Amino acid sequence: KAGVTQTPRYLIKTRGQQVTLSCSPISGHRSVSWYQQTPGQGLQFLFEYFSETQRNKGNFPGRFSGRQFSNSRSEMNVSTLELGDSALYLCASGSGSDEQYFGPGTRLTVT
């Protein structure tokens, strides 16, 4: 079974730009969660999508948004990038009531 895939793996953007990250979950998994990892704040939950609906949301500003498609693939978007958005963005795939499996992450650098 293929694991969770995230694209791109690395990204460099400039302040003020926007970015879209993609996550393809494990086949058959309907839940996709996103996490931000920074040295200062650690691992923080962004949001979770289940069957194309946002089921949970963390405490992040509205610049962070996401969506899930009918094939369970998910995208997250960050608009008006700030230097503090530089982080490793991790996506997790789950069946809905089971453990979550993480992808390799997308490392975003904002300059």
Partner 1 sequence: AQKVTQAQTEISVVEKEDVTLDCVYETRDTTYYLFWYKQPPSGELVFLIRRNSFDEQNEISGRYSWNFQKSTSSFNFTITASQVVDSAVYFCALSGLMEYGNKLVFGAGTILRVKS
Residue 104 lies near partner 1 (rule: CB under 8 A):
yes
Cis peptide before 39 (omega within 30 of 0): no
* Alpha-carbon span 8 to 6, nearest angstrom: 6
Decide: helix, strand or coil at residue 13.
strand
Nearer to partner 1, 8 or 16 (CB): 8
User: Of 13-21, 54-62, 70-78, 79-87, which segment contacts partner 1 by CB under 8 A?
Assistant: 54-62
> What token pair was written down for 7?
């694209």
Summarize as ranges the residues that interact with partner 1 (CB under 8 A): 31, 33, 35, 42-45, 48, 50, 55-56, 58, 88, 90, 92, 94, 96-105, 107
